[in-house]
Amino acid sequence: MTRYRGYLIDLDGTLYKGERVVPSGLGFVESLEERGLSYLYFTNNSLRRPEQVAEKLRGFGYPAKPEQVVTSAQATAAFLTETLGSPSVYAIGGEGLKAALSEAGCRLTDQSPQAVVMGLDPAFTYDKMKTACLAIRAGADFYGTNGDLMLPTDEGLLPGSGSLCAGVAAATGVQPRFIGKPERPIVEYGMRRLGTTPEETLIVGDNMMTDIRAGVDNGIDTLLVFGGVTSPEEYRNGTVRATYTVGDLKEWEFI
């Protein structure tokens, strides 16, 4: 009997790195399939729609269907509709965020929105920031898809969603409510999609401060894989403790 029936698996740094597949990631997902274990691809990236994320994964050889993808955009949309009904939303972000909000029943507008939602937006402008700040000052709730300040890429560390949110927070004095890893809403949303309890779930990822904290803060076991964002040295010096650590996913024994 295996203890973990459901796996929430991080993507970048865990299953691939930039444009390169992690070969042991392919073996890992294959083993999950063979054992009949449930798993979802679990990402803070809100830019792309689930179809696009699945397509990218299939390009690396992963057996990914859109319904196996959990993004911070979907978790944010679910959280908003659960707490606010069908709110009007001013969204700053990519196609993935806007599609998730619309599909969940939010009405996208830049006129007197009930909520401002910010995700990573490569087309971010002063004008968008201004609209967000005025809406928040007029009383709109402020949400961020995820608080990641930096985005590791082949070019180097780029500004992440959290850095864009920090600008709006500085200009309004209002802090956003974050939804993505390591926050509870995306973890609850992921488990709901998996149909597992916290005891049956394992969060797998390369980032101590997002993936592993998501488990630690929400009572879920975690598997930290080195080779991505968090180095063994950083982990040793850090305070966040994973349930298990491996240097490579092929070391995992599916307990």
Binding-site sequence positions: 10, 12, 181, 206
Chain position whose Cβ is nearest to Mg ion? 13
Residue 221 binds Mg ion, judged by CB under 5 A: no
Closest distance of CB 89 from Mg ion, Å: 27
- CB-based burial label for 75 (10 Å; 0-12, 13-18, 19+): buried
* Radius of gyration for the chain, computed over Cα atoms and rounded to the nearest angstrom: 18
Q: Which residue has the tokens 């993935």?
A: 96
Q: What is the 3-state secondary structure (H, E, C) of 64-129?
A: CCHHHEEEHHHHHHHHHHHHHCCCEEEEECCHHHHHHHHHHCCEECCCCCCEEEECCCCCCCHHHH
Mark the binding-site residues for substrate, compressed into ranges.
181
Pick the binder of Mg ion from 8, 10, 133, 148 (CB under 5 A): 10
Closest distance of CB 94 from Mg ion, Å: 18
Determine the interface stretch with Mg ion among 2-10, 60-68, 138-146, 172-180 (rule: CB under 5 A): 2-10
Catalytic, 141? Answer no
**Closer CB to Mg ion, residue 161 or residue 172?**
161
Closest distance of CB 15 from Mg ion, Å: 9
3-state secondary structure of 240: coil
Pick the binder of Mg ion from 206, 214, 221, 222 (CB under 5 A): 206
The one catalytic residue in 10, 148, 211, 221 is 10
Task: Tell me the torsion sign for CA atoms 177, 181, 186, 188.
Answer: negative
**Closer CB to Mg ion, residue 206 or residue 221?**
206
- Listed in sequence order, the residues at least 6 apart from 177 whose beta carbon sits closer than 8 Å to its beta carbon are 141, 142, 143, 144
Q: Which of residues 108-167 bind Mg ion (CB under 5 A)?
A: none
Catalytic, 217? Answer no
Q: Which residue has the tokens 């930096």?
A: 150
**Closer CB to Mg ion, residue 191 or residue 212?**
212
How many of the chain's residues bind Mg ion (CB under 5 A)? 5
**Closer CB to Mg ion, residue 10 or residue 200?**
10
What is the Cα–Cα distance from 58 to 12, expressed in whole angstroms?
A: 14
**Closer CB to Mg ion, residue 45 or residue 114?**
45
Residue 13 binds Mg ion, judged by CB under 5 A: yes
| Cβ–Cβ under 8 Å, residues 116 and 142 | yes
Closest distance of CB 112 from Mg ion, Å: 37
What is the Cα–Cα distance from 175 to 209, expressed in whole angstroms?
A: 19
Binding site for Mg ion (CB under 5 A): 10, 12-13, 206-207
Catalytic residue list: 10, 12
